[in-house]
Amino acid sequence: MNDNEKPQVAAVEIGDGDGAPVVFIHGLFGRGRNFSSIAKGMQPGFRCHLIDLPNHGMSAWTEDFSYTSTADIVAEHLRDGIAAGGPVDIVGHSMGGKVAMLIALRHPDLVRRLVVVDIAPVGDGGPNGDSPSGRGDFKHLLDTLARLDLDSLTGRTDADRRLAADVPDASVRAFLLQNLSRTHRAGSHKDSPTGDGFHWQPNFPLLHRAIDQIKDWPANEIDGSSFTGPVLWIAGADSDYIRAEDLPVMRALFPSVLQVTIKNARHWVHADQPDAFISALRTFLRADQKTAAAQV
């Protein structure tokens, strides 16, 4: 399928249930299926909608990047589909957490409950832009991928080996390399063991070029907005993406926020501690805020 044939927002569904559907929004260089095991673990009783953000997975590419336009594209997808019958619950991780927050702020009628996973509504430098160090290492990761000679690769194992020095964490390399697809020219067999090289399935040139925007937060575009519905803010205890100075900003935008930190979890909280993550989601999405605060 070429990009012209891709839907604006691709999605798959797992499970069913009578309650509000649960929409999962992945982070940078992820895809909806990253939440497949979480969605399956939430069964029975939850209808889970796993989307590919624009410029990722099976969704169409865009010419430019902005958080507000991405949030509006996803909101339109929800309004015309799974949210047509009423508001949904949204779970957003990292970049997807910023998209989820903007959907709640710009399209509050679509959102019943919001879960923001290991990200804050601030730029890389913090609320005032004066943090001495950045959060996370996605710029380093994408710079490393940009140096990878895709045409000379012999396979994923070869790519993994070449990335190992700059990306020593094998789980992070596996996450990145899920996006590496074999290129086949017209007339070549799709199952050819050699193929014609490799390409990134996401819109790597755009995402790499826009990395500073992706690490930022469009505060000037949501000035004065707030979402008063229930919000669960999940942090990984071993991650640096959420800091104490972010809490006042989060509370100003989301006054009904509950903060939970999951032990022994890095930035990919749902991958590091899936059972604790599922427990937190089930409790929050199916209970009133007071009960959720006591049980999570």
Kindly report the number of other CB atoms within 10 A of residue 229's CB atom: 16
Position 189 pLDDT exceeds 70: no
Compute the distance between CA of residue 7 and CA of residue 42 in angstroms, rounded to an integer. Answer: 27
How many angstroms separate the CA atoms of 142 and 99, rounded?
Answer: 20
Q: What is the pLDDT of residue 3?
A: 54
HEC-encoded secondary structure of 12-55: EEECCCCCCCEEEECCCCCCHHHHHHHHHHCCCCCCEEEEECCC
Tell me the C-alpha distance between 281 and 22, whole Å. 10
Q: Is the distance from CB of 69 to CB of 62 less than 8 angstroms?
A: yes
Q: Which CATH architecture has domain 3-131+217-295?
A: 3-Layer(aba) Sandwich (3.40)
Question: What confidence tier does 184 reach under pLDDT thresholds 50, 70, 90?
Answer: low
Is the pTM higher than 0.85? The answer reads yes
Confidence band for 295, pLDDT divided at 50, 70 and 90: very low
> Is residue 247 classed as helix, strand or coil in its secondary structure?
helix
Cα(85)–Cα(71) distance, integer angstroms: 20
Can you give the pLDDT at residue 2?
A: 55
**pLDDT per position as a tens digit, 59-76:** 999 999 999 999 999 999
- Listed in order, the ranges of the chain carrying CATH 3.40.50.1820 are 3-131+217-295
Digit-coded pLDDT (tens) for 242-278: 999 999 999 999 999 999 999 999 999 999 999 999 9
